Structure 1
Amino acid sequence: MKRKIAAIFAADIAGYSRLVAEDEEETLRRLASYREVIDDFIARASGRIFNTAGDAVLAEFPSAVDAVRCAIDIQESLRTRNMAYPPSRQMSFRIGITIGDVVERDGDLLGDGVNIAARLEGLAEVGGICVSRAVHEQVANKLSVQFADIGAQEVKNIPTPVHAYMVAMRREDGTYATPQVKKVVKAAPAPHWMWPLVVGVVSVVAIGVGGFLYFTKLETGQVKSVEASLPPVAVPSPSPTPTMAAKAPLPVPTPISAPTQMAAATPAPIPSTPAASNGKFPVDAVPFIGERQRSFLSNEYSAAGDYKAFALSIGGFTGASINQPNEESARSAALDQCQKRAEGAQSPRRCELYAVGNKVVYSHGSPPMPPQPWVRHDGVTERPFAAKDFPMLRDQARTRVENIYAPASKSRAVALGPGGQYFMVLGASSVEEAMRRSLESCGAIAGSACMIVTVDDVFVVPIPTLLRATGFFHAATHPSIVADARDDVVRKFGDGTGWNAVAVGTAGRPGLGLKADDEQTAVNGALADCARHDSDCHVIAIGPFTVGPIN
């Protein structure tokens, strides 16, 4: 690992989950198109993308000027593209930029600089850009850009406020709109004449408390806790670009209880503890977590009275607080506990509240999941796992899978997304848990259902070797297959065990090679079948994957 100073660029889509829920296929297609624009601008500005996850992009630049200029170009280009869509379907990015000291590991960047850029992105307006003071100082006299000073902003899990600026974006008429953001109001300092009075009061109180402690035996209540155990490690790998692994064991949430207060000299009425929230907490519906965490939620959290809260991240990290003095304390304690665990494992995933009391407040809903069964075992196509043969991953990602997944303890599984996203769950209590958690986390990252590719030491789907896997094959919507033949391909291809392949010709008439004993036989059968009613045939799918030439 090495340290360096870099300009960090963080971007994601505002309202991405809603867009996917309304029209998944159109959203994913447009995201791919917009990502091409973003990737091109970043490359032209000498930037490097070091992490992606679903709609999010993290990149580094050699200078703040390059990063801000690139961000402006991206936002103006995408604003023009969005004009072709109604407001409810526009796909707008928010971008945050800072300069920071970061650590490079296996091509990925870690450190406060990355975290601050992500927080600044959260402060940005929809379609806007938010930068740190360090960036503003670097670019203010070098670019013809207007800024709005929004002051020091308190951001989650950053110990000191971040002084931020909004970049004024150009309107359609060519003028610039300066963002109107309310500054953080700081408490006015106490007048100088009050300090002697304050010192006197504190002295009197200290003497009184000292006398009280001398004559009074203090009793402290015990803080309820749950002994941490070592459940499975969730390793998020959300994109073909290598990302960080959550390498630390994930403990069962230790509920944070409000401390018992010391007895006062004059006992005050003790407020009654609110009863548990009405309604049963839906433990079985909580995504991303293992059976041990679910057991905690069933036995400890559900039975506790208010005030309480539960937080989680896509990576499976959790935090819980019970018996807090108020709802806000419960929320804050649960989020802080979860985020500390995630950051301790160097996970880039932010924690979010899942429940307050027994009420689910998680806004993203259930992650997209494939239909069951998630795996159909077939001795003809299954073969031993080898990281070098893992489909749709870049070399760095394959190396990461080999170093982390291959030596890990069972039960374990890897889920793969349609855009090359992947997620590993290691050391789960069962194969079923490993598959469920990897599919849930991968689906949340990708925004669409993922596929189980590996369970323990076995590839459980046919892995093409004659051609390169390029994506997931969906016969019902594949544009190369003529429309009136798609249903027949879906029916025949879906029922086939063994090796299966699809070929098409210039007219889009498909040829099928079904239930073959090996990949080559399936390919030959598909090409021969296609040649009977079409010309210039080529293979477009092998097993569950679309395929193309090996580079």
Structure 2
Amino acid sequence: MKRKIAAIFAADIAGYSRLVAEDEEETLRRLASYRSVVDDFIAKANGRIFNTAGDAVLAEFPSAVDAVRCAIDIQESLRTRNMAYPPSRQMSFRIGITIGDVVERDGDLLGDGVNIAARLEGLAEVGGICISRAVHEQVANKLSVQFADIGAQEVKNIPTPVHAYMVAMRREDGTYATPQIKKVAKAAPAPNWMWPLVVGVVSVVAIGVSGFLYFTKLETSKDGSSSVAAVPSPVVTASPSPTPTTAMKAPMPMPTPTQSAAAAATPSPPAASGGKFSADSVPFISDRARGFLSNEYAASNDYKAYALNIAGFSGTGLNQPSEEAARNMALDQCQKRADAAQSPRRCELYAVGNSVVYTHGKPPMPPQPWLRHDATTEHPFASKDFPMVRDATKVRLENMFAPAAKSRAVALGPGGQYFMTLGAPSVDEATRRSLESCGALAGVACMVVAVDDNFVVPIPTLLRVTGFFHAASNSSIVADARDDVVRKLGDAMGWNAVAVGTSGRPGLGLKAADEQTAVNAALADCVKHDSDCHVIAIGPFTVGPTN
């Protein structure tokens, strides 16, 4: 065993048991997706995950600054991802961080440092970060964030109170929240003479309650009117990151699209089963396959079915002796094609006869135009510069996308999801298909990042890309300035950058010839009406420190 001092990071999901109870499969899929984001940020911040259990993550960092900066990046990134879901289905982490003496055994860490980090995580607000005084002393003058002192907190199984601070997360209106956490007060022990009295009172109450329940049961059982409402199971897609669905739970109404974040394109509502089949509405497939559906499939009057998956593979069953035979033939043909191409996506029935049975609806798509060429910002594709993905994905892009035949396109989602379409007949088709499939994976609209040999959006290199930038909902910008930022960015071509200071007043660098000029202009504009300015966005991306 080896003893050392380390910054310990503890995180878990608030309300995880409820999320699992409402929709286990969807929650587990999203947990895997969110964990990939968390793991990626920890690795980039030089951290090491030493233990996991269910939704919990324990990691060590070489410094408190690295740990807190990583926690902030994680919470900001996951908050953006949560915008795609109604409040009842959002998956938010609590994070606690301390510096402590720990013992390393077989790669795991043990000791008070780990226990205190876990207790601090329990004090954190949903989507928030709670740190110990030791961590605060290390980071207070090194990170441009604010802290709220919540004093000494008495926590379970820790003999002495832990002095804690909250990282004050910025509200939507640009102000900072100041958490008010009550200290846990220890109750004074009851005098010995009171115990007989307490036992007697409890016994009398128990007898009274039992009698009431007994007679209540007799009354309700006379007419058999007591009933339990059956709750139907939610629809679950086979893809790893489906368009979000919400478990039905009476009497709560289903959320409307307007309740989603205004920043992202609103996902299309699912098409109702039994809708009339139209070849023009089928997602993911090539234009050639769409032509087949418009002609051969539409003309067939016998038992028929059509199956597809989000990677664009499809299968058809025509002129079959029964509906079941048509279904089986379409699914079997589609799955064989997908398996031959080593696609991990499962095929599903889209249509039976002339009726749509596909329940996931159209994938969310961004507004058109999907692609705008700008010679100022376009530059040759390089997989090492591809934003928001892991190194393994960059290797895959280098080996598959870069050498593939034209036309090809790759779309990126706000949580790091991506999808590439290779060897399409046209750029338009490659663009459409990559956006549709990526949207189905992400559950929100994606963005085309590269087409053929070029990046077609500005790719920041001066700062690290952390997500998609939506000025209308960005909490770093004071609320009354967001519309002005949206208007000024508008159709501004070239390199654009946004900076903010401590009060959230934005500075803009617009239509610059290069990234550095845009950044300098944004900072110069920001310091005119704010202090401690830093860049939060370059082009279509939010950005943060490189280390």
Compute the TM-score of the two structures, normalised by the length of structure 1: 0.52
- 1:504 and 2:500 aligned: yes
- 1:480 and 2:449 aligned: no
1:89 CA drift (Å): 3.3
The match for 1:494 among 467, 485, 490 is 490
The match for 2:512 among 494, 511, 516 is 516
Aligned residue runs from structure 1 range 32-111, under 5 A? 32=34, 89-90=88-89
CA distance in 1, matches of 2:366, 2:21: 25
Using a 3 Å threshold, how does the CA distance of structure 1 residues 237 and 365 change in structure 2: closer, same or farther? Answer: closer
Please tell me whether the aligned partners of residues 33 and 241 of structure 2 are also in contact (alpha carbons under 8 angstroms).
no
Query: What are the superposed Cα offsets for residues 336-381 of structure 1, whole Å, 9 maximum, x if unpaired?
Result: 1111211122111111100001111110000000000001111111
The match for 2:524 among 522, 528, 536 is 528
Aligned to 2:367: 371
Query: What are the superposed Cα offsets for residues 307-362 of structure 1, whole Å, 9 maximum, x if unpaired?
Result: 10000001111010011111111111111111121112211111110000111111
- 1:447 and 2:438 aligned: no
Query: What are the superposed Cα offsets for residues 133-168 of structure 1, whole Å, 9 maximum, x if unpaired?
Result: xxxxxxxxxxxxxxxxxxxxxxxxxxxxxxxxxxxx
1:91 CA drift (Å): 7.0
Using a 3 Å threshold, how does the CA distance of structure 1 residues 281 and 46 change in structure 2: closer, same or farther? Answer: closer
1:33 CA drift (Å): 8.6
Using a 3 Å threshold, how does the CA distance of structure 1 residues 14 and 351 change in structure 2: closer, same or farther? Answer: farther
CA distance in 2, matches of 1:313, 1:404: 20
The match for 2:291 among 290, 295, 299 is 295
Equivalent residue of 2:338, what SS? helix
CA distance in 2, matches of 1:13, 1:527: 45
The match for 2:426 among 426, 430, 434 is 430
CA distance in 2, matches of 1:14, 1:425: 37
Aligned residue runs from structure 1 range 121-270, under 5 A? none
1:306 CA drift (Å): 2.5
- 1:420 and 2:419 aligned: no
**Tell me, which stretches of 5 or more residues in structure 2 are unaligned?**
1-18, 43-47, 56-85, 92-238, 243-273
Please tell me whether the aligned partners of residues 237 and 421 of structure 1 are also in contact (alpha carbons under 8 angstroms).
no
Please tell me whether the aligned partners of residues 237 and 422 of structure 1 are also in contact (alpha carbons under 8 angstroms).
no
1:530 CA drift (Å): 0.4
CA distance in 1, matches of 2:514, 2:87: 48
Equivalent residue of 1:302, what SS? helix
1:19 CA drift (Å): 9.5
Please tell me whether the aligned partners of residues 380 and 517 of structure 1 are also in contact (alpha carbons under 8 angstroms).
yes
Letter of the structure 2 residue corresponding to residue 444 of structure 1: A
The match for 2:278 among 253, 263, 282 is 282
CA distance in 2, matches of 1:19, 1:534: 43
Equivalent residue of 1:287, what SS? coil
Letter of the structure 2 residue corresponding to residue 529 of structure 1: D
Letter of the structure 2 residue corresponding to residue 364 of structure 1: H
Aligned residue runs from structure 1 range 305-324, under 5 A? 305-324=301-320
1:288 CA drift (Å): 0.5
CA distance in 1, matches of 2:281, 2:498: 38
CA distance in 2, matches of 1:534, 1:88: 33
Equivalent residue of 1:488, what SS? helix
The match for 1:543 among 516, 529, 539 is 539
Please tell me whether the aligned partners of residues 275 and 356 of structure 2 are also in contact (alpha carbons under 8 angstroms).
no
1:47 CA drift (Å): 9.3
Please tell me whether the aligned partners of residues 404 and 422 of structure 2 are also in contact (alpha carbons under 8 angstroms).
yes
Please tell me whether the aligned partners of residues 499 and 515 of structure 1 are also in contact (alpha carbons under 8 angstroms).
yes
1:281 CA drift (Å): 3.4
1:304 CA drift (Å): 0.6
Please tell me whether the aligned partners of residues 462 and 543 of structure 1 are also in contact (alpha carbons under 8 angstroms).
yes
Aligned to 1:167: none
Aligned to 1:383: 379
Please tell me whether the aligned partners of residues 369 and 449 of structure 1 are also in contact (alpha carbons under 8 angstroms).
yes
Task: Report the aligned-residue RMSD.
Answer: 3.7
CA distance in 2, matches of 1:403, 1:430: 22
Please tell me whether the aligned partners of residues 482 and 508 of structure 1 are also in contact (alpha carbons under 8 angstroms).
yes
Displaced runs of 4+ in structure 1, greater than 6 A?
Answer: 12-20, 27-31, 46-49, 236-239
Task: Figure out how many residues of one structure are paired with residues of the other and give that number.
Answer: 315
CA distance in 2, matches of 1:17, 1:410: 41
Letter of the structure 1 residue corresponding to residue 442 of structure 2: A
Using a 3 Å threshold, how does the CA distance of structure 1 residues 296 and 47 change in structure 2: closer, same or farther? Answer: farther
The match for 2:348 among 352, 356, 360 is 352
Please tell me whether the aligned partners of residues 485 and 510 of structure 1 are also in contact (alpha carbons under 8 angstroms).
yes
The percent identity for this pair of structures is 68
Using a 3 Å threshold, how does the CA distance of structure 1 residues 13 and 384 change in structure 2: closer, same or farther? Answer: farther
Using a 3 Å threshold, how does the CA distance of structure 1 residues 396 and 367 change in structure 2: closer, same or farther? Answer: same
Letter of the structure 2 residue corresponding to residue 517 of structure 1: A
Aligned to 1:122: none
Please tell me whether the aligned partners of residues 303 and 353 of structure 2 are also in contact (alpha carbons under 8 angstroms).
yes
The match for 2:357 among 356, 361, 365 is 361
Letter of the structure 2 residue corresponding to residue 533 of structure 1: H
Please tell me whether the aligned partners of residues 17 and 364 of structure 1 are also in contact (alpha carbons under 8 angstroms).
no
1:482 CA drift (Å): 0.3
Equivalent residue of 1:491, what SS? helix
Compute the TM-score of the two structures, normalised by the length of structure 2: 0.53
